Amino acid sequence: MKNQFFVDSGHLSPTALAQKHRLETDPTCRKDPMTYLPGMEQIESDIRSSVMEQMNAYDGTRYTARDVKAALAHDTCSIEDFKALLSPAAEPFLEEMAQRARLETGKHFGNTVYLFTPLYIANYCENYCVYCGFNCYNHIRRMKLTMEQIEHEMQVIADSGMEEILILTGESRRQSDVSYIGEACKLARKYFRMVGLEIYPVNTEEYRYLHECGADYVTVFQETYDPDKYETLHLLGHKRVFPYRFDAQERALMGGMRGVAFSALLGLADFRKDALASALHVYYLQRKYPHAEMSLSCPRLRPIRNNEKIHPSDVHEKQLCQILCAYRIFLPFVGITVSSRESAQFRNGIVKIAATKISAGVSTGIGDHESKYSGKETGGAQGDEQFEIDDSRSLDNMYRDIAGEGLQPVLNDYLYV
């Protein structure tokens, strides 16, 4: 079947609708999710097999209160202890887990909370991921910023006081190629001390090029580590290739990136298994690349435009808090980011326990920072957002709220020599 990507702002043609229907109803129309596509680099690594073996064998229901108490009593949290802390048996021990997590966070990070903001520079996408607002069949306003527009957005953000930025695109190599992203990184280096990327996965030498352009770290969401569920959620595009996406962080480190970030989108599959796999992905890579900085995010599925098909597995704030505390106890040195998908109240609480980094002044749309930051209508074209955020506080408000909790907000702590 010929792949056709419908990424303009018009309604889907009859041909596109027919193709979309076939992808949704006929699995034989879809490519094998374990088979690499032309141009995809394959690396020799045992990380994926190690993670998948542990995840597939995990049965959270077999752990008891005794296992949880033993895990909390140990000075060092083993993989088996971590599995107990993720289990349903640990839910009654959330207060004890929070106390232990707070202790570990204070020991390794003090009372600091790092702040950053995302900048979406394009929302074109060539994937059909049924849960994502950017997917190629979704009827939204598409936009790709020019370099002049990108620099203007960066100036607006930098003027707010922000020193770390995360550059994001939709997953379209055709619309947002590596050189385009590289030029955006060069601009970002003029305005920010720390530059992250959340883009489609690329090969090692492309990560090397982006690092030379100014990128410090790379974030990749595996979305779900359950390969069967992954196949049913990613019906078209490069993102459908499960192993290529899985190895993205390792390729980024091989390409010289200083740090990498990991996440599953909780609610797509069994959230306990996805949380286990996310942390083990970090755990094994940390041992292979001990010099690298690593971090975890813990987003939950949020409402998106034009999609009523996904009914996320229930992941409530109490369960999210359990996961974040378990992450901190198991991986005490790892950064933990909690995004604006969560409420201000939840984020104010979790930074006192386990999280070390949060976003502020967030927009998931394209080209609208000036209007959102100044409150003035700019009249410029804008692209639709990827998902709805919950916490819309500005940098100033976030800074003030964090300081009010007795914590130290940090904009950047890197020196370049």
Q: What is the CATH number for 281?
A: 3.20.20.70
Residue type, 121: I
Secondary structure class of 157 (helix, strand, coil): helix
pLDDT of residue 84: 98
Gyration radius of the chain over CA positions = 21
pLDDT at 303: 58
The reported pLDDT for the residue numbered 386 is 54
Is position 220 within any domain? yes
CB burial of 124-150 (b: ≥16 within 10 Å; e: otherwise) equals bbbbbbbbbbbbbbbebebbbbeeebb
> Is residue 138 domain-resident?
yes
- Inside any domain, residue 8: no
C-beta atoms surrounding 340 within 10 Å: 26
Residue partners of 213: CB distance under 8 A and separation at least 6: 181, 182, 183, 185, 186, 189
Tell whether 390 is covered by a domain.
yes
Per-residue pLDDT at 304 = 55
In a domain, 28, yes or no: yes
Residue-wise pLDDT tens for the chain (417 aa)?
A: 333 333 444 467 778 788 888 888 888 888 999 999 999 999 999 999 999 999 999 999 999 999 999 999 999 999 999 999 999 999 999 999 999 999 999 999 999 999 999 999 999 999 999 888 888 888 788 899 999 999 999 999 999 999 999 999 999 999 999 999 999 999 999 999 999 999 999 999 999 999 999 999 999 999 999 999 999 999 999 999 999 999 999 999 999 999 999 999 998 999 999 999 999 999 999 999 999 999 999 888 765 554 554 555 578 999 999 999 999 999 999 999 998 889 899 999 999 999 999 999 887 778 877 777 766 655 555 765 555 677 888 889 999 999 998 999 999 877 665
> Number of folded domains in the chain?
1
pLDDT of residue 17: 83
417: in domain: no
Query: What pLDDT does residue 2 have?
Result: 37
118: phi then psi, degrees, rounded to nearest 5 = -85, 150
User: Which of 260, 305, 398, 417 is CA-nearest to residue 409?
Assistant: 398
- Total length of the chain: 417
Q: Is 1 within a domain?
A: no
The verdict on residue 6 lying in a domain is: no
Domain range for 295 is 14-410
